[in-house]
Structure 1
Amino acid sequence: MKMHACVTAVALGAGVAASQPLAAAEGLIEGSSATLQARNYYFSRDYSDIVGPNKQSKAEEWAQGFILNVQSGYTPGPVGFGLDAIGTLGLKLDSSPDRVNTGLLPLGSDGKAADNYSRLGVALKAKYSRTELKVGELQPNLPVLAFSDIRLLPPSYQGASLTSSDIPGLTLQAGHLTSTHLRNEGGDEKMIAMLGYQPQRQASSDAFNYAGGDYEFNAKRTRVSLWYGQLQDIYAQRFIGLKHSQPVGGDWVLGANLGYYDANEDGKHLLGNIDNRAFFSLLSARHGGHTFYLGYQGMYGDSAFPRVFANISPLGNEVPTYEFASTDERSWQVRYDYDFAALGVPGLTSTVRYLSGDNVDTGKGFEGRDHERDIDLGYTLQSGPLAGLNVRVRNAVARSNYRTDIDENRLILAYTWKLF
């Protein structure tokens, strides 16, 4: 799938919009909304059998974050105009030069974490029917560029995006991004790639381009996806995906999440040749409060899985600590979720999972192997003055014979106020 073909598809979707009746104008002020989230985050990683030049034995920090999201409505008329704003503030509560690099706080040239950092970004938007153009601060969430809000504050990108959903069931998107704001920084910078778990800081790109779409049908139980992403002069990546949910016998719901990526070098080949094909499958079965998962993931080709730093990906076996996306890696996952609402305790959820990978081409003359065990607990208060407060606890143990071992703990408290 070529980039210009995807952009043409989005443009056709926008053209169809011209034949659709316009939605009633909601008003610039009348249609506006704003939320403020307070997020308290403790993050700890203990390292052993350290591999690589960084011999720091522990990363441990505690911070308080605030995330303001303001979205305006649209001005009346055939084309409505509006403005969105994202404001973030991070405050250091605890850190030390020998425990930095958790991803919660910026690191200064003196080796110490900053006391605070902040950012305000805005995006202009224009809408006709159900086709919308945004220019400015963006937070896309795509198979080729997943929204990675996994630390104190969310990341963002700067550029332009076009989204059209005028065709029933079909959502088309395209975009051109020129820089990124990382999750633990206040400013902008050029984008770099990750191959597997290793950042490739020796080369940076001036742009990330994407285009693609998702089509839902079968009463929204089935979704097919086709996407293209290009980190200019570094790599180009294509994705095809299928998600399906099927009720069985009235008591069970079976699910399937399948995806295939294909990537190669792009343009000036700033990181040399890239050759990766990735397949993942995650099957599920839900009954009452129980959900069981079984996943398989395989990397093929001469390279690890490429992505934009420091993003996660929708790979089925990517988890908080290890990615299981190294060169030639094959991995399996078993997972069990339970929603305690089935026992009369709404708001309490749990996840236990185990993953094992092997067949890694380490380039060092031996086969790489790794495994990880995760336990997650979450609870959202249902009543009282703190109703809506969410508390999450995570413990992870990850072991490998070719990369650093990790023992990880996280404690996250989040509360969101609806301002208007």
Structure 2
Amino acid sequence: MQVMKWSTIALAVAAGSTQMAFASSQSESNGFIEDSSFDIFNRVLYMNRDFRNGASNTAGSGNGYREETGWGLRTLFESGFTQGTIGVGFDAHTLSSLALDSGRGRFGTGQFDQSSDGSAEKTQTEVGGAIKFRVSNTGLKYGSQFVGSPVFSTDDSRILPEVATGTYLVSNEIEGLELSGGRFTAMSSQTSTDRDTFELKAANIYGANYAFTDNLSAGLHYSDVEDYWKKTYLNVNWNLPIAEGQNLNFDVNGYHTKGDGQELGATDDGKGGLSTDNDLWSIAAAYGIGAHTFTVAYQRSTGDASLYNYGVDGGGTIWVANSVQYSDFVSRDEQSYQARYDLNMAEYGVPGLSFMARYIYGDNIDTGVAGEEGKEHEFDFETKYVIQSGAAKDLSFRIRSAIYRANDAQNDFYSADVNDFRFIMDYPLDVM
């Protein structure tokens, strides 16, 4: 499902696309302390899921209703790099959560770990760090980190993010070209302080992004998650300015997933066996005019597996158009359509206020039962306001609401009908 990116704690190496003949990022280093920063990020999340038509709440007491409020506190220290040909630095973070309102009968929104009595853990804390090196415009980091690759992406859709452990290299030595590669051996979930919640053996990832022009770019990424699957991802993004205040954007995303080793993430192939083989792609077209953006998208999922699989490689590893608040629209043979409208109120004198509404419809789903085609649809509504100045600058309030419905075949195959509501308050503080 679509994730919320947390820019203040992204630990990807910051290296701009600069020509080799120009001064490198490392040559401009001011020092370990001089370029260091310390940030505090607060998030309060209220969330409820109301399963309709008598559906059971399998994560709690069986009453079909989940409701919890949590507070997450994140601190991030990022040092600068030492001066010289090879720069050395260190990053450290703490992640803490507090259950403000929960209960055994309402547990299960994905914010907290579960205690022995079935209720939410009241408090949790996690500490991590990473050492980093930089030569010219190439950075290498080893340790705990937050990753934003389309084939290995840590999720941040609850009060705390997932954390990956491993090595990640990002290079920007050639103008417009970014190369990346990494090996990760552990992944903690958003609800657990365990170092390796998913028992990840190893995930090797490689990627290349290239900007042909200011308006045309493409990316190719590959991952090999040991004993799970191999994934190849392709993206093409084209922005077409039309006139003053108007533009057209096309975005194409696609995954090819093939089983590997034991195929531990395999799902029903509809033929009495298991498979992870899947092809998932989407194309979106967005027209922007002033404060308004109109988007339409088409997405298709095919292959033997019952759906596109992800999770052990990060809960955010699904960069396609119709992965939205509740459903991903990735069931076997599913084709889905989206219509979306965005409004930025800055054009009307209210900077920081925005609205979004979208509708997604999916059908042609092979549920594995002859004659039972699955169908699903989802309405999403979102309002967000970010304070622009003063002591509370950057404090944001966000309301997200989803209404998910499906026919009986898809209810049994994917999920029961549900109303999903979230109120999110984010407050980033730049301490130094």
Whether 1:268 and 2:272 are equivalent positions in the alignment is no
- Match for residue 117 of structure 2? 110
- Match for residue 11 of structure 1? none
**Equivalent of residue 400 in structure 1, options 396, 401, 406:** 406
- Match for residue 239 of structure 1? 233
**Equivalent of residue 69 in structure 1, options 69, 76, 85:** 76
Whether 1:287 and 2:289 are equivalent positions in the alignment is yes
Higher mean C-alpha deviation, range 326-335 or range 376-385: 376-385
- Match for residue 377 of structure 1? 383
Counterpart of 2:346 in 1: which secondary structure? helix
Whether 1:307 and 2:310 are equivalent positions in the alignment is yes
Counterpart of 2:287 in 1: which secondary structure? strand
- Match for residue 364 of structure 1? 369
Q: How many angstroms apart in 2 are the aligned matches of 1:301 and 1:391?
A: 40
- Match for residue 210 of structure 1? 205
Q: How many angstroms apart in 1 are the aligned matches of 2:418 and 2:244?
A: 42
2:284 partner amino acid: L
Q: How many angstroms apart in 2 are the aligned matches of 1:205 and 1:137?
A: 14
Counterpart of 2:340 in 1: which secondary structure? strand
CA contact (8 A) 1:135 1:160 kept: yes
- Match for residue 13 of structure 1? none
In structure 2, relative to structure 1, the CA distance for the partners of 1:418 and 1:218 (3 Å cut) is same
Tell me the CA shift for residue 18 of structure 1: 11
Q: How many angstroms apart in 1 are the aligned matches of 2:86 and 2:245?
A: 47
2:422 partner amino acid: R
- Match for residue 249 of structure 1? 243
2:46 partner amino acid: Y
**Equivalent of residue 27 in structure 1, options 10, 19, 31:** 31
Aligned residues: 392
Tell me the CA shift for residue 34 of structure 1: 1.2
Tell me the CA shift for residue 17 of structure 1: 7.2
CA contact (8 A) 2:20 2:175 kept: no
- Match for residue 12 of structure 2? none
Counterpart of 1:111 in 2: which secondary structure? coil
Tell me the CA shift for residue 51 of structure 1: 7.5
Counterpart of 2:347 in 1: which secondary structure? helix
- Match for residue 199 of structure 1? none
CA contact (8 A) 2:35 2:79 kept: yes
In structure 2, relative to structure 1, the CA distance for the partners of 1:329 and 1:131 (3 Å cut) is same
Question: Which runs of structure 2 are paired with 1:12-411 in the superposition (5 Å)?
Answer: 23-49=27-53, 50=55, 55-191=62-198, 205-219=200-214, 221-270=215-264, 271=266, 272-303=274-305, 304-309=307-312, 311-312=315-316, 313-365=318-370, 366-401=372-407, 402=410, 403-411=415-423
CA contact (8 A) 2:44 2:424 kept: yes
Tell me the CA shift for residue 394 of structure 1: 1.1
Report the identity percentage.
Answer: 31
Tell me the CA shift for residue 229 of structure 1: 1.3
Tell me the CA shift for residue 416 of structure 1: 1.1
Counterpart of 1:23 in 2: which secondary structure? helix
Q: How many angstroms apart in 2 are the aligned matches of 1:188 and 1:383?
A: 38
1:107-127 deviations in Å (ceiling 9; x for gaps): 112201011001111000010
In structure 2, relative to structure 1, the CA distance for the partners of 1:128 and 1:289 (3 Å cut) is same
Tell me the CA shift for residue 146 of structure 1: 2.8
Tell me the CA shift for residue 56 of structure 1: 4.5
Counterpart of 1:342 in 2: which secondary structure? helix
Q: How many angstroms apart in 1 are the aligned matches of 2:245 and 2:253?
A: 27
CA contact (8 A) 1:190 1:206 kept: no
In structure 2, relative to structure 1, the CA distance for the partners of 1:190 and 1:106 (3 Å cut) is closer
Q: How many angstroms apart in 1 are the aligned matches of 2:165 and 2:417?
A: 35
Superposed CA RMSD: 1.9
Q: Which runs of 5+ in 1 are unaligned?
A: 1-15, 192-203
Tell me the CA shift for residue 397 of structure 1: 0.3
CA contact (8 A) 1:125 1:134 kept: yes
Tell me the CA shift for residue 369 of structure 1: 0.6
Higher mean C-alpha deviation, range 278-287 or range 55-64: 55-64
CA contact (8 A) 2:27 2:83 kept: no
1:44-95 deviations in Å (ceiling 9; x for gaps): 1001243796645011100111111111001111100000112111011000
Counterpart of 1:341 in 2: which secondary structure? helix
